[in-house]
Amino acid sequence: MTTTILGPPDRLAPGQAATELARLLAGDYPDAAGRFGPFGGRFVPETLMGAVTRLDRVARAAFADPAFRAELDRESRDWIGRPTPLCYAAGLSRAWGAPVWLKREDLAHTGAHKINNALGQALLARRLGATRIVAETGAGQHGVATAAACARLGFPCRVYMGSIDVERQAPNVDRMLRLGAEVVPVETGDRTLRAAIDEALRHWVSDPLETHYLLGSAVGPHPFPWIVREFQSVIGRESRAQMIERTGRLPDAAFACVGGGSNAIGFFHGFLADPRVALFGLEAGGRGPGLGEHSATLSHGRPGVLHGTYSMLLQDSDGQVIETHSVCAGLDYPGVGPEHSFLNWIGRVRYEAVTDREALDAHAECCAREGILPALEPSHALAGARRFASANPGAVLLVNLCGRGDKDMPILAREAPMTGPGGRP
Amino acid sequence: MSGGARIRAAIESARANRRPALVAYLTAGFPRLDQFGPLLRATDAAADVIEVGVPFSDPMADGATIQRSSRVALEQGVTLRWILDALGGLAPHARAPILLMSYLNPLLAGGLTETIRRAAAAGVAGFIIPDLPLEESPGLRELARSHGMALVQMVTPVTPDERIRALAAATDGFLYAVTVAGITGGSAASPGEEQRIGAYLDRVRSLSGGAMTCAGFGVRSRAQVRALAPHADGVIVGSALIEAIENKQNITNFLTELVSTT
């Protein structure tokens, strides 16, 4: 039995990083205990042990079932609109002095990558025999995706959303309601994504047999980080094939934003086995590196247990989880998926912080040069790519544009108001 | 005597008096730091075992009452370090053995080995850790045992028989039988529920291999305690005690009346 929770993860021995990566690529992680090396696991109340064990079993059977795969593929094509395009960003390429390619997850149904997982888990919920679905949401994208998937498959749906997020992502609340979901504002805790997950877990603890908790990020107890990664890995598979088809080569570097890390983990999985592709996860650096000013977990956190998983965590010296800040709700989370902690530990992915300001600048540049209004979350990835391009001119860059920015209009009006002709004063 | 043996002796002594053992939960430092000592003493005057709650920022298995008491305690600056310092002065004078009830992360933050050593030095008899399932518990259990401390396991109405056996075999002190699939502080059980809970507790007992069982979650009234008593060795009261503290009731009387048989 594992005792790795007894202390911080060991320093890597020489050569261990390569061994650990090989294990991951061979499918040895997550292991039977739900671990990626020292990270992950299932730290949940006894009431949920049956539910997470059953979910693991049903998911394994589903992934091995051609009929399940066929239905997922068909719905992904007809209802989500997959494959999403790979788009050459001519304007950004000229400005940055490096060819930039965008993976257009913003063109997926409901406007973000979240739909890949929402559809997949809703199909799993049917196999589980669940009668209702609950979800948490931060930016509202996962809530909208879950509401849509539940409408499609006929599940009643309840979405927990921090009251601060209800206010700052108001357009998505209306979308969820129109798609038939019940939206429950969470007034406890930090009133953002973390409190919404707490509340969704409480709901699940109270109804572990009938409810499926459709968790939206690659966080939480095993098997969620694995299931979410499996449903999101379509992004990486498509991206890799499209890059080869369009350019005859792989990118030099690939960039994705990381909050909980669902878009990034699916995207990275397309390239983990390609040692020449440098991978970058961009976290929300917020207003700066001070405690509570950001949500850059891998840049500033320590290992700990939150929401059922052992992973890097923003916490104080007494083990209390601290409040975080980001201009965008989707990255405003003090934890991170355990597989990202693992990839950071072995050094396969480099995680860097991008400030609110840098993200807003990259957002404006993408609007102006590409005619694409991205969400603020992938604007962090764009900012990371721009930073890399300035140090590596000519490098071929691939950015996962994981969502569109319509939901961010209230934040943009406040943080970057339009002035001048036709603009707001 | 080990922590587990002290807990078992406390429960047995209540049963010798023909009443269910009373396990009482307090959030440390709620509602104010300076009331921890007086409230612990008042609880000790009526309870057989005391659970001292370590507040956590994300109490996912707790209902509104313990969420509230945890938040207030954290706002007062309560830390595990502060709790263990305070218990170092209080535990040796308490009649009832004291369990620390904590989510895992506060125990990990200072280094688990060091935390367990400090808890043992403070006179703590053992731990209840709601987010540490059986599969993840062996390392911590061994460490606790090596310091003479117990790790109490929980079972729930959705735990399969085989798993109840395994949890009963692993637990030390008593087996914590959660009466509902849910969070702490639920409303009082309806009459139909009482029958279901009784049957569930009988099933737990038949599978427990002799481990003593205490029933908790949603225990609020004397009538409930009476209904539970034939099916368990003890009852656990948490949210109702926190609410009694909020209502400025005399908590020794509140607890005594809860388990009185007359």
Question: What local confidence, expressed as pLDDT, does residue B187 receive?
Answer: 65
List chain A residues with CB under 8 Å of B101. Answer: none
Q: Please identify which of the residues B12, B34, B48, B62 carries the catalytic annotation.
A: B62
The CA dihedral of A378, A379, A384, A389, to the nearest 10 degrees, is: 110
Measured between CA atoms, the residue of chain A closest to residue B83 is: A318
A248-280 tens-digit pLDDT? 999 999 999 999 999 999 999 999 999 999 999
Question: B104 vs A49: CB contact, 8 Å cut-off?
Answer: no
A:B CB pairs within 8 Å? 134
Residue A425 has pLDDT above 50, yes or no: no
Residue A38 has pLDDT above 80, yes or no: yes
Measured between CA atoms, the residue of chain B closest to residue A316 is: B109
Question: A47 vs B58: CB contact, 8 Å cut-off?
Answer: no
Question: B136 vs A189: CB contact, 8 Å cut-off?
Answer: no
Measured between CA atoms, the residue of chain B closest to residue A310 is: B105
Tell which B residues from 174 to 193 touch A, by Cβ distance under 8 Å: 178, 180-183
Give yes or no for a contact between A104 and A86, defined as CB atoms under 8 angstroms apart. yes
Question: B60 vs A307: CB contact, 8 Å cut-off?
Answer: yes
Judge whether B136 is closer than 8 Å to chain A, CB to CB: yes
List chain A residues with CB under 8 Å of B133. Answer: 42-46, 49
Question: What local confidence, expressed as pLDDT, does residue A250 receive?
Answer: 98
B111–chain A nearest CA distance, Å = 6
Judge whether A202 is closer than 8 Å to chain B, CB to CB: yes
Question: What local confidence, expressed as pLDDT, does residue A139 receive?
Answer: 87
List chain A residues with CB under 8 Å of B60. Answer: 45, 198, 201-202, 205, 307-308
Picking from B58, B59, B143, the nearest residue to A194 by CB comes out as B58
Question: A45 vs B130: CB contact, 8 Å cut-off?
Answer: yes
Measured between CA atoms, the residue of chain A closest to residue B178 is: A47
Question: B135 vs A42: CB contact, 8 Å cut-off?
Answer: yes
A276-304 tens-digit pLDDT? 999 999 999 999 999 899 999 999 999 99
C-alpha R_g of chain A? 20
Which amino acid is it at A102? L
Angle, alpha carbons A168-A169-A172 (nearest 5°)? 160
Examine the residue annotation and report whether B62 is marked as an active-site residue of this protein.
yes
pLDDT classification of A61: cutoffs 50, 70, 90: very high
A420–chain B nearest CA distance, Å = 45
Fold of A40-74+114-225: Rossmann fold (3.40.50)
Examine the residue annotation and report whether B135 is marked as an active-site residue of this protein.
no
Residue A4 has pLDDT above 60, yes or no: no
Judge whether A318 is closer than 8 Å to chain B, CB to CB: yes
Contact partners, residue B248, CB within 8 Å, separation at least 6: none
Per CATH, the number for A82-112+233-423 is: 3.40.50.1100
At B105, give phi and psi (nearest 5°): -60, -45
B255–chain A nearest CA distance, Å = 27
Mean of the pLDDT values across residues A395-411?
95
Picking from B56, B140, B158, the nearest residue to A50 by CB comes out as B158
What are the residue boundaries of the structural domains of chain A, listed by start?
40-74+114-225, 82-112+233-423
Question: B60 vs A201: CB contact, 8 Å cut-off?
Answer: yes
Judge whether A201 is closer than 8 Å to chain B, CB to CB: yes
B186–chain A nearest CA distance, Å = 10
Q: Is the link from the previous residue into B20 a cis peptide, with omega within 30 of 0?
A: no
What is the distance between the terminal CA atoms of chain B, rounded to a whole angstrom? 33
Question: A320 vs B106: CB contact, 8 Å cut-off?
Answer: yes
Cβ neighbours of A63 (radius 10 Å): 16
Question: What local confidence, expressed as pLDDT, does residue A186 receive?
Answer: 96
Residue A160 has pLDDT above 70, yes or no: yes
Strands (DSSP E) along chain B, which ranges?
Answer: 21-27, 49-53, 98-101, 126-128, 150-155, 175-178, 213-216, 234-237
Tell which B residues from 33 to 92 touch A, by Cβ distance under 8 Å: 56-63, 67, 74, 79-81
Phi-psi group of B98: left, alpha or beta (phi > 0 → left; psi -120 to 50 → alpha; rest → beta): beta
At B151, give phi and psi (nearest 5°): -120, 115
Tell which B residues from 101 to 120 touch A, by Cβ distance under 8 Å: 103-113
Measured between CA atoms, the residue of chain A closest to residue B182 is: A206
| Average pLDDT along chain A | 95
Residue A2 has pLDDT above 50, yes or no: no
Residue A37 has pLDDT above 80, yes or no: yes
Question: What local confidence, expressed as pLDDT, does residue A190 receive?
Answer: 87
Tell which B residues from 199 to 228 touch A, by Cβ distance under 8 Å: none
Question: B131 vs A45: CB contact, 8 Å cut-off?
Answer: yes
Question: B61 vs A202: CB contact, 8 Å cut-off?
Answer: yes
List chain B residues with CB under 8 Å of A198. Answer: 58-60
Picking from B112, B133, B158, the nearest residue to A6 by CB comes out as B112
A39–chain B nearest CA distance, Å = 13
pLDDT > 90 in chain A, percent: 90
Question: B139 vs A1: CB contact, 8 Å cut-off?
Answer: yes
Picking from B62, B104, B153, the nearest residue to A305 by CB comes out as B104
Question: What local confidence, expressed as pLDDT, does residue A27 receive?
Answer: 97
Judge whether A277 is closer than 8 Å to chain B, CB to CB: no
Angle between helices A46-63 and A66-75 in degrees, nearest 10: 90
A73-105 tens-digit pLDDT? 999 999 999 999 999 999 999 999 999 999 999
Q: Report which secondary-structure segment, H or E, holds A36.
A: strand A35-36
Q: Please identify which of the residues B51, B172, B194, B233 carries the catalytic annotation.
A: B51
The reply to whether domains A40-74+114-225 and A82-112+233-423 share a CATH topology is: yes
Question: What local confidence, expressed as pLDDT, does residue A220 receive?
Answer: 98
Judge whether B167 is closer than 8 Å to chain A, CB to CB: yes
pLDDT > 70 in chain A, percent: 97
Please enumerate, as own/partner, the contacts of A35-38 that have beta carbons within 8 Å and a separation of 24 or more.
A35/A2, A35/A4, A35/A222, A35/A338, A36/A225, A36/A338, A36/A339, A36/A341, A36/A342, A37/A9, A37/A342, A37/A345, A37/A346, A38/A4, A38/A9, A38/A10, A38/A303, A38/A310, A38/A342, A38/A345
Picking from B57, B67, B140, the nearest residue to A320 by CB comes out as B57
pLDDT by residue for chain B (262 residues), tens digit each? 999 999 999 999 999 999 999 999 999 999 999 999 999 999 999 999 999 999 999 999 999 999 999 999 999 999 999 999 999 999 999 999 999 999 999 999 999 999 999 999 999 999 999 999 999 999 999 999 999 999 999 999 999 999 999 999 999 999 999 999 989 988 655 667 889 999 999 999 999 999 999 999 999 999 999 999 999 999 999 999 999 999 999 999 999 999 997 7
A316-360 tens-digit pLDDT? 999 999 999 999 888 999 999 999 999 999 999 999 999 999 999
Residue A6 has pLDDT above 90, yes or no: no
Question: What local confidence, expressed as pLDDT, does residue A420 receive?
Answer: 62
Mean of the pLDDT values across residues A14-30?
96
Mean of the pLDDT values across residues A218-228?
98
A330–chain B nearest CA distance, Å = 19
Question: What local confidence, expressed as pLDDT, does residue A120 receive?
Answer: 98
